[in-house]
Structure 1
Amino acid sequence: MNTLSSLGIFFAVLLLTISCTNQTKDWSAQTEITKWPESKNGAISITYDDGIINQFTIAKPIMDSLNLPATFFIITGKVEGSGKGKFIGRDPKTIISETSTIKTDSTNFFERASLIAFTGTTEAEEYHANVGSLYEAGRIAEAYELLDEGYEKIRNSRMRNTDDVVFHNNPVDTTSWEQYKSYAEQGHEISSHTVTHPKLAVLDEVNMRYELEQSKADLAKFMGEESTFSAEGPYGTENERVMEYAYKIYPALRNRMPEDWLEEINRGSKSQPGNTKKEYVQWQRGALSNSGIDQMKSWTDTVKAHDNIWLVLVIHGVEDYGWEPLTTGELKEYFGYIKENKDSLWIATFGDVTKYLRERKATKISAELDANEIRITLTSDLNPNIYDIPLTLKTYLPEGWKDVSLMQKEGNSPLEVLSDSKGNYVHYSISPAETSAQLVRMD
């Protein structure tokens, strides 16, 4: 073979190699999962505690009229057919008798604090709650003394001793599991607020586990597994011992979410969410009787002014029933204001926002450009049967692409080509169960 022929073959191979190299190109750096679905500016979750009847007869219809979803943390022991509140342990009469000669201390505190709410009357439940508040505030000796005072009243019949179970701020509830099921089908989240709304931090292990596990079991039985994702320990507890147990039972707690990429600002904190350096901030605000519409609207405005805030609203009473109730007029005006901002803010349940954030942080993107097609692949260790919120992806396009479609199992979807300072791009959604898709140039 002469020299010219050899050179010809060499250059032919080289051109073929270059052509093949240009055919497939790693495009992963040109694709990202947006911080919020549809590239919105932030998120708001509207949550309710205690399962108060007015939440469903007054607040929910207002939200339904505006197509706004909510998360209802319900006290499951009040719902007909579910496991009821009870004390698990030694004979209560024996424990009550011992309080006459043995003062409360670290060796018997949790057992006695667990029992007292089940000795009857609202006053006994209030002793349990107040003892718990002292304990969580670090005022241990005062908690012991108050518990001794409560049992002294019980022994001397100054508090009626019955088998009745008194529920925190909500003795009457007519909502059925069938109704709760229908609410979930309408897009609302029904989640656990324990069986009886106790101060979990002062329960002994067996009674704490019952409150958490029985509530979850009834939600799974009557509502389905999707209602066992989120929970809220009563009184917003952040007690370390409670969190250790609760984390093992529920994937998400409104009380605390210890992800290293999330800063939490609880309801009692005066910290401002705009000061955080973390990627996300969960900003909880209690919407109370004295909050006022202007302040509540300012919370929404703050979310709009940043790109990393998740506002979690906490509502209890409605109209004339429950703790710190909001009026019907306040709910209509505030929810209407939230609705006005729905184009820039993602309004979603507590569980759905939690899932999206975790999915985004846990998902890796692989993308390849091959001629007129970009192949997208997502990989994650999360269970797609639980973490099932579609992710919004943003992919920058090669120069000259003007007409693009998304190809998935269910079919072909034309996409709008948008632009910013970095170039032309498209937005699209992929379900975690889908794992792959193709962007196809159609022009």
Structure 2
Amino acid sequence: MFHICNAQLDVLENGRNKALLAQRHAKKKFVIELIEVYRNLPSLWDTNSEVYFDRKLKKQQYEILLQKYKEKYPNATKDKVKGKIQALRANFRREIKLMSASGASTLYYFDAMKFLLNLKHFAVRNSNEAKDEKFTATGSILNDTQSIKLAVLYKKYKCLWDEKEISYRFANRRREALENILEEYNTTCGLSLTKNDLDKEIIKLRKICTNEKRHKIACKRSNKVYKPMCPYYQHLEYLEVDVHPYECNFCDKVIYGICQYKIHLASHDGSLPFKCNVCGNGFKLATNLTVHLRRHVQDYTYSCEFCKKTCATTTELRNHERMHTGEKPFVCDTCGKTLSTYSEFKRHDQRHGNQPTHKCEICSKMFYEKRKLKEHMYSHRNVRDSICDVCNKGFVSVKQLRQHKLIHNEEKKYLCKICGKRFAQYAGLSSHMKTHGTKLTGNSFKNFDR
């Protein structure tokens, strides 16, 4: 048996430690180099400069930064390098707050990022200055009494600050609310504020709330008694639910973006971050929740130019308008069939591969469409609670009842193109076509006489 003596083990251990130290040193060196490249790309960080607002230049400079990042991480993407920079900035900002009175820092790249201190939101504030700070509403054209009236009026329109209100995520409803506030405020106060004036005053009120909320968290963490700096803060406190910073109730982490805060909270229990307050459904993206909420209240913003039907999204509108135009842009490579929507094309392709994706948990039957599975589940209930008001016959689903009630209609709208015989239900016409030695196709179904 092969034996290794203690001396050899020590040599191996020392070798591993040296390798780890060298690896860490190389990683730190690369971070410093990355920051230096970042420093020379002002459109990515210098908010005091005009180049910061140049989107084309910003895109070009991100590509430069990405190329540097790929030197160590060849498969990196633009999102990866953005995330790395955001993490470095967050640590730098946190270090500023934690620094001792002497200004000493333990963050190895702190000196490399000192160029950010020229930016207003990174400036180091003297603790005594912060303690003696007085409330000032700079840039306001309203006095305290007028500001209080605006705060009280703003509170009435929950869609502007309360995310539990469905219309909170609807830009058109928010615009309407702001127009109503402007008209009502000018009328009651005898002023003539413009829309631009109102926007500035509302931003001012929200900034006051942000500063107070930050001050409140700082007092709580240092076990100090919180005293509002704004003399009328009791009229603004309701806005705390909609302005940063947000403090996690689970781990006390402070987060500065509402979406990031939602995602962070969801990470604690593994749930989806954006939840519907009406039905409880969760979504990965805020935009998906917005569309979902519009469906609840049928507040649609897009309409068909042919029939004026309203749709929740541009994708839905585009798919609907293809019914009018007959456009079918999706072509099956296997059989050549053309389809009008991607979802139809995807289901069609799954049928070629015999890959149904929805499974009944009771009988294990498979389906290609979720709605077909839902219809199938009614058969397991076997509760015929959908009753026909004509003959009192019961059915397990509303769809079956709707199909049944067609037989009670005087008009039989399904017409056989061969012999002229009419049927009340599609199933009757489909069965009848077999007597002619043929069957209904998708096109013949669309051409029936209504």
Q: Which TM-score tier does this pair reach, normalised by the shorter chain?
A: under 0.3
The TM-score normalised by the length of structure 2 is 0.21
Which of structures 1 and 2 has the bigger CA Rg?
Answer: 2
TM-score if structure 1 supplies the norm length? 0.21
Comparing both structures, which one devotes a greater share of its residues to strand? 1
Q: Which is helix-richer, 1 or 2? A: 2
